[in-house]
Structure 1
Amino acid sequence: MAKRTRLERGSLNPDDILRGAFELTDEVTVDNLSMPMLARHLGIGVTSIYWYFRKKDDLLTAMADHVLRESVRSTPSVEPSDWRGTLQNHARTVRRMFLGNPILCDLILIRPSLSANVAKLGARHNENVIAGLVESGFTLADAVGIYSSIQLHVHGMIVLQRLQDKNRMSDSPSDAYYEILPVSPETTPLLAAANENGFRGGEPNDHNFEYGLTNILDHAAQLLATTPAQKAAR
């Protein structure tokens, strides 16, 4: 762990603590972060941290607030003129962003804790996506259903990948569920043939992500093409 320059007396502020917390968490994970460890990393007494953050949960909430603000700013909007292309880009961007920053996944998806104001920001972000879909011609029910399906697909694959990565880094690593299933041409010929062609069921990889995303978008396109009479009969 790289040694930081000790902060001068009286120069500490919450932003310094947050920066240090992100630096340290990148090395030790959210689960293993502790206030005494952070104090040593910053070169200060632990009571200096408690002046701004009374407990670890308060610090993690501030960290979650920060990363959610950044992720909302970096996530593309859904445009009514090209709902499918922009929603697809939205889903891909969220997945890429979370997989590239494990802290983001830990703080937002696995251990969600947000201040009231930032939680409202997240709600407005979801509202804007739904509004874009409604403006594209979807009913409110379909817009909510489509975006919920996208979120569950994206977030579920992100969390599964993150949990598998954390498991592999643990003191007692083990294989993922799909990796321990006995697959052979003799007992499971179809699965064996699929594996030979690079198709692995249950793995949160790019192929399975794109397959699921395409199917959700195809279904959404079918819903949009449904006539008013067909919609009324559903």
Structure 2
Amino acid sequence: MAKRATPVKRQRRERGSLNPEDIIQGAFELAEEVSIDGLSMPLLGKHLDVGVTSIYWYFRKKDDLLNAMTDRALSQYAFAAPFVEADDWRETLRNHARTMRETFLGNPILCDLILIRSALSRDAARLGAQGIERAINTLVKAGFSVDDAFDLYSAINLHVRGSVVLQRLYDKNKELEAEASAYYEDIAIEPETTPLLAEAMARGRRSGAPDDRNFEYGLECVLDHASRVIAGSAPAAPAKKTPAKAAAKTAEPAKKAAAKRAVAKAPGTRARRTAAAS
């Protein structure tokens, strides 16, 4: 009778070889397969081929691990987005917004960690604030007031994040239920009752959808408003004198002197002076 083969045991890591960086890296790898929602300490232990207690030694609960992942994700994201430059604030701010959106859309894990999770670690919150401070400082150097610079960057930030989160929630619903749809897909279009809506949507427009067309339109609206704000806050340039005006101003004293001489030479002027003196 043939001997049953003995299953080969998975080789565990050597004691003491695990470190926080390995755990965080493994968590990102696992999240790519099961998502942030499906990530768990036992699953991560199996992925890293270690006992789950080894993970708890460094991260007491899942939130602690997610905070560490968020810190790393935010650091990488902060360096990925191009900086805003004062001498070309509009174009560089446009590129900044586009890159933020593309980065989040291209990395669901990043989106879930930074935009959808309600809790951020203190380090992540500080890093985010420093990034915003840098952008506002650049806009102030470009000529905006502090309030206008704050409002402008907040509007851009909200526009990017809102667009990304709507798309991410739609994708997550699709993962859970293939037949799931978004509100902008369920709008009832009836040419008889909504002819303008039907006409616009027949040309590919989608009301409220976080697509490229709507994102770009909203972005340009914010930038157009900012251009008007900074144009209105700039000091008015002194009016340039035309050659005709300059010549007229130069000739004015000469005209007044000639008029006085003419009055002095007029007939009867000396008699009136003598009468007035007596």
Determine if the TM-score, normalized by the shorter chain, exceeds 0.5: yes
- 2:41 and 2:55 in contact (8 A); partners too: yes
Partner residue, 1:221: 227
- Shift in Å, 1:16: 1.1
Partner AA of 1:222 in structure 2: R
Question: Partner of 2:176: helix, strand, or coil?
Answer: coil
1:192 to 195, 198, 215: 198
Is it true that 1:60 corresponds to 2:82 in the alignment? no
Distance in structure 2 (CA, Å) of the matches to 1:114 and 1:176: 28
2:184 to 175, 178, 202: 178
CA distance in structure 2 between the aligned counterparts of 1:18 and 1:227, rounded to whole angstroms? 48
Q: Which residue of 2 aligns with 1:71?
A: 77
Report if the CA contact (8 A) 2:143-2:234 is conserved.
Answer: no
Task: State the 1:112 CA deviation.
Answer: 4.3
- Paired residue total: 227
Structure 2 contact 30–44 (Cα < 8 Å) conserved: yes
Q: Aligned letter for 2:34?
A: V
Distance 2:33 2:223 in 1: 37
Alpha-carbon shift at residue 31 of structure 1 (Å): 1.2
- Aligned counterpart, 2:254: none
- The root-mean-square deviation of aligned C-alpha atoms, in Å, is 1.8
Amino acid at match of 2:39: L
Q: Whole-Å Cα distance in 2 between the matches of residues 110 and 172 of structure 1?
A: 21
| Paired position in structure 1 for 2:91 | 85
Map Cα deviations across residues 103-142 of structure 1 (whole Å, 9 max, x no partner).
1111111104333233222111100100010000001111
Distance change (3 Å), C-alpha of 1:146 and 1:182 = same
Aligned mate of 2:175, from 155, 161, 169: 169
Deviations 1:183-221 (A, max 9, x none): 132332212211111111110000000000000000000
The percentage of counterpart residues that share the same residue type is 58
Deviations 1:60-101 (A, max 9, x none): 000000000000111111101000000000000000000000
Contact 1:153–1:212 under 8 Å retained in 2: yes
Separation in 1, partners of 2:208, 2:11: 46
Q: For residue 7 of structure 1, what is the amino acid of its counterpart?
A: R
CA shift for structure 1 position 173 = 4.6
Equivalent in the alignment of 1:100: 106
Distance in 2, Cα, partners of 1:49 & 1:173:
38
Which consecutive unaligned segments of at least 5 residues does structure 1 have? none
2:149 maps to amino acid: A
**Which residues of 2 match residues 40-55 of structure 1 at below 5 A?**
40-55=46-61
In 2, the alpha carbon distance for the partners of 1:6 and 1:161 equals 40
Structure 1 position 44, deviation (Å): 1.2
Inter-CA distance 208–8: structure 2 relative to 1 (3 Å threshold): same
CA distance in 2, matches of 1:41, 1:156: 34
Q: 1:30 aligns with which of 19, 22, 36?
A: 36
Unaligned runs of 5+ in 2: 1-9, 237-278
The answer to whether the Cα contact below 8 Å between 1:5 and 1:42 also exists between their aligned partners in 2 is no
Residue aligning to 1:158: 164
Q: Secondary structure at the match of 1:161?
A: helix
**CA distance in 2 between partners of 1:15 and 1:218 (Å):** 45
Q: Aligned partner of 1:186: which letter?
A: E
More displaced 10-residue stretch of structure 1: 120-129 or 94-103: 120-129
- CA drift of 1:10 comes to 2.7
RCO (CA 8 Å, sep 6+): is it higher in 1 or 2? Answer: 1
Query: What is the match of residue 134 of structure 2?
Result: 128
